[in-house]
Amino acid sequence: MRIATWNVNSVRTRLDQVVAWLRLAQPDVLCLQETKVADALFPHAAFEALGYRAAISGQKAYNGVAILSRQPLEDVRVGFAALLPHDGEAAALGEQRRLISALVEGVRVLNLYVPNGSALGSDKYAYKLAWLGCLRRYLAVQAAEADPLCMLGDFNIGPEDRDLHDPARLSGGIMASGPERQALRQVLGSQLLDAFRLFEPGPGHWSWWDYRSGAWETDRGWRIDHIYLSADLVACATGCVIDRAPRANPQPSDHTPVVVNLAWPPEVEEDAGEDASWL
């Protein structure tokens, strides 16, 4: 199973690019963030023509998440309230369309668009930390279901200095502050591991380049788009890559896709000493 994440910064503006990438990369699942479109206007037909069905949670001009899948999307859940129905903060935070999940071939795919936070000490920064706290409570409920979990999306956090192009200047600032990094560590606990870092421990790998100041041309990026796996999926992971190519497109998103390959579903081994033909 190949699962990908991509903040497309408007699915309708970038529709031709997303369609072209789907044809080339052939993921089984693609999670989109910042779709920036109301549900009634989501371009289902373009994806259905390629064999993908979509689960969506959008809003006009802002935020928005979607899961595209070649396989059936089961038990689709939108927002924090799906698992935290009695949590008042979850209901309030769910007004922004930033979270959707579904079961795909037995894997719980959880697609997130974590708030940016804007600036240290701002109301949006406090909102981001509250959102991450709510995500932690959400995952505690999710964990009780024991589904294999692939949590992915735009986290708007560089977890470590090796995830920033200039850590001496950027570490401690927005998207790399101590409280944000700590909140993310608390979300992950010991149960979820960074798929990319299973295969590539070194610095110099980015998934986002600011539109400003020639960041793409000078390769001054951040790694803020992540894929996290539960232990049962870590055991099946065969590779994880950042596909830089779409960032070089004309009028690109400022993010580029991240893709994990999983040997899933796992093969059932037959007992050589018994007749398993009835299975």
Confidence of residue 266 (pLDDT cuts 50, 70, 90): confident
The arithmetic mean of pLDDT across residues 141-163, rounded, is 98
Cβ-based neighbour number of residue 87 at 10 Å: 17
Distances (CA, A) of 241 to 104, 214, 257, 266: 21, 24, 9, 21
Q: What percent of the chain has pLDDT over 90?
A: 94
Do the beta carbons of residue 240 and residue 234 sit within 8 Å? no
pLDDT tens for 172-212 read 999 999 999 999 999 999 999 999 999 999 999 999 999 99
* pLDDT at res. 59: 96
pLDDT for residue 268 is more than 70: no
Q: State how beta strands 149-154 and 258-262 pair.
A: unpaired
pLDDT tens for 204-250 read 999 999 999 899 999 999 999 999 999 999 999 999 999 999 999 99
**Nearest 10 degrees: Cα torsion 190, 194, 197, 203:** -110
Six token digits for residue 108: 């719980």
pLDDT for residue 279 is more than 60: no
What amino acid positions are annotated as catalytic residues? Answer: 113, 154
* pLDDT at res. 267: 77
Average pLDDT in the chain: 95
- Answer yes or no: CATH 3.60.10.10 is held by domain 2-262: yes
Do the beta carbons of residue 108 and residue 101 sit within 8 Å? yes
pLDDT tens for 31-43 read 999 999 999 999 9
Spatial CA neighbour of 109 closest among 54, 174, 164? 54
Do the beta carbons of residue 20 and residue 45 sit within 8 Å? no
pLDDT tens for 51-78 read 999 999 999 999 999 999 999 999 999 9
* pLDDT at res. 275: 42
Indicate the length of the chain as a whole number. 279
Task: Locate the domains of the chain by residue range.
Answer: 2-262
Do the beta carbons of residue 154 and residue 224 sit within 8 Å? yes
Q: What is the pTM of this model?
A: 0.95
Distances (CA, A) of 6 to 17, 103, 237, 242, 247: 11, 19, 19, 10, 11
d(CA 88, CA 93) in angstroms, rounded, equals: 9
* pLDDT at res. 269: 54
pLDDT tens for 76-104 read 999 999 999 999 999 999 999 999 999 99
* pLDDT at res. 276: 35
* pLDDT at res. 273: 46
Spatial CA neighbour of 207 closest among 225, 181, 219? 225
Spatial CA neighbour of 140 closest among 69, 73, 90, 98? 90
